[in-house]
Amino acid sequence: MGRTLTYPKRSSNTVNRYKHRATYDLGAIHTIINASPVLHVSFNPGPDDPFPTIIPMIGQMGSFEYPSASINEPLECYLHGYVSSRIMNLARASDGEGLPICVATSQVDGLILSLTPNSHSYNYRSAVLHGYANLVTDEQEKLWAMELITNSVLEGRWDNSLKVQDGSGKIRDGGVSDERKDTEDANVTGRIWTGVVPVWQTFGTPIPSGEGKLAEVPQHITSYIETKNKQNRALAENAVVVQLPPEEQH
Amino acid sequence: MGRTLTYPKRSSNTVNRYKHRATYDLGAIHTIINASPVLHVSFNPGPDDPFPTIIPMIGQMGSFEYPSASINEPLECYLHGYVSSRIMNLARASDGEGLPICVATSQVDGLILSLTPNSHSYNYRSAVLHGYANLVTDEQEKLWAMELITNSVLEGRWDNSLKVQDGSGKIRDGGVSDERKDTEDANVTGRIWTGVVPVWQTFGTPIPSGEGKLAEVPQHITSYIETKNKQNRALAENAVVVQLPPEEQH
């Protein structure tokens, strides 16, 4: 299966809670980032402001230097923003390595309904990257990044690139896990339904604007919708490992 | 319609891009927060770490002091986390007002497919809060907050409360907006389909765990799923104002 590249574990990205759900694999983390319609990007606006802030941005992982690099290899995170926005001005003005930022995303895959409130949970996939943001100034790299992000659906004007220092992901899948004291209490198990409600993002029927004159929705759009809906549903449903009743477990 | 309360516009929360999409109304911002299955919370881990970080958390707006307060009134943001997690330790150790944090969320409601890449967009709802986080120590307030968050589906152990200093929301709705040079170019309009693909979160068929002994999924779960699916779909579809062809516009 070849080697698996992982991000270094630093204090900033090390997952301490539910460590068994953590991943530092480049492929897993990059896949979660690239599947996100929106990324949340955090930065510190300046010395006079006590609060870090977060803005929603569109972005994709990629390598301009090695465009054929696979999702498992070291990649940069390209973020799309307006040329005179605050984060861009801060990145432009930053000395040294660039503007320290954090990129995060989370996707809920299911509601875990268990016997007690304390054991309720979500199935989810989340990822975090830390790194230094710099403006993309090379014209060729800009065009390349625009196309990369356009292909993931975009509102487009400008690009910012993140040299990733570290990253981590966290994935929860599977079914319900209740405590034995509850699962062995017939009073509780006879009264409360437990299981998982899968959750996924659905793309609906396209609503035409009247500006374009094509009578029919073209096939590249209808098949994108069909494929994504199937994939999203399968992902949410497959995240649930259907548990056998205890007497059938070995 | 009575008065509308708004958050103060400070440099940290003032929306500068597409200002017409911004909102500072408490009701609009709190509604976006409360509809989010996950919130992204940013904080600075410490003086030795250059990067702000982001963690996904569950939370709800509410007022323990005035439990009957409406969504349009000043509320606190209750966040749910593990008692010994890093953000909780930082909030516990913070002097003065509390730990400065930022809470953000974004929901995509539709893909705006226009004539040119530059006019592509999303329909979306996003919200940001800035404030000082403090631990909830009062037992009664803890129980009250647990119930508040439980009712929005939770993984539960502990609570953190945010005294909100400011907030802002940003909402994009409507249809496609292309530039006139493109809409008047029959070569372009005859070739490219334009419109909106609505996007919403779907809850699927519940998958039982085998632990609970109830044969049927109870009605409170099935009707929650049915209601949410209808609401989410209507929200995404209603965000699109179906545009009349230009010759029918006045």
Q: Do A189 and B199 touch (CB under 8 A)?
A: no
Asked if the C-beta of B196 comes within 8 angstroms of chain A's C-beta atoms, the answer is yes
When comparing pLDDT for A169 and B247, which is higher? A169
Q: What is residue B197's three-state secondary structure? A: strand
Asked if the C-beta of A67 comes within 8 angstroms of chain B's C-beta atoms, the answer is no
Asked if the C-beta of B242 comes within 8 angstroms of chain A's C-beta atoms, the answer is yes
Residue A240, min C-alpha distance to chain B (Å): 8
pLDDT in tens, A62-91: 999 998 999 999 999 999 877 778 888 888
pLDDT in tens, B19-54: 777 888 899 999 999 989 899 999 999 888 899 999
CA separation for the pair B235, A238 (Å, rounded): 27
Residue from B164, B177, B193 whose CB has the most chain A CBs within 10 Å, to mutate: B193
Q: Report DSSP state, residue A97.
A: T
When comparing pLDDT for B233 and B183, which is higher? B233
User: In the prediction, which pLDDT does A247 show?
Assistant: 44
Interface of B with A in 128-187 (CB under 8 A): 128, 130-131, 146, 150, 153-157, 165, 175-176, 178, 183, 186
Predicted TM-score (pTM) of the model is 0.85
Quick one: A222 exposed, middle or buried, by C-beta within 10 A (0-12, 13-18, 19+)?
middle
Q: Provide the pLDDT confidence category of residue A3 given band limits of 50, 70 and 90.
A: low
- Kindly give, in sequence order, each residue whose CB lies less than 8 Å from that of residue A196, ignoring residues fewer than 6 positions away: A110, A111, A112, A113, A123, A175, A176, A240, B206, B207, B209
Q: Report DSSP state, residue B151.
A: T
Do residues A213 and B188 touch, judged by C-beta distance below 8 A? no
pLDDT in tens, B80-126: 877 778 888 888 888 888 999 999 999 888 888 777 767 777 888 89
Radius of gyration for the alpha carbons in chain A, expressed in angstroms and rounded:
22
CA angle in degrees (0–180, nearest 5) for A235-B103-B69: 105
Identity of the residue in B156, B204, B217 whose CB atom sits nearest the CB atom of A118? B156
Residue A65, min C-alpha distance to chain B (Å): 24
Cβ pairs A/B, distance under 8 A:
297
Burial state string for A19-44 with b = 16 or more CB within 10 A and e = fewer than 16: eebbbbbbbbbbbbbbbbbbbbbbbb
Q: Which two tokens stand for residue B99?
A: 């730990």
Phi, psi of B143 (to 5 degrees): -65, -40
Asked if the C-beta of A215 comes within 8 angstroms of chain B's C-beta atoms, the answer is no
Q: For residue A39, is pLDDT > 90? A: yes
Closest CA to B102 of A131, A101, A169: A101
DSSP assignments along A18-52, one per residue: SGGGEE-BHHHHHHHHHT-S-EEEEE---TT--S-
In percent, the amount of chain A with pLDDT more than 70 equals: 91
Quick one: B109 exposed, middle or buried, by C-beta within 10 A (0-12, 13-18, 19+)?
buried
pLDDT in tens, B132-178: 998 888 889 988 888 888 777 544 345 677 777 878 888 888 888 88
* β-bridge mates for residue A101, sequence order: A131
Residue of chain B whose Cα is closest to the Cα of A189: B212
* Measured torsion, CA atoms of residues A200, A201, A207, A211, in degrees rounded to the nearest 10: -160
Q: For residue B245, is pLDDT > 60? A: no
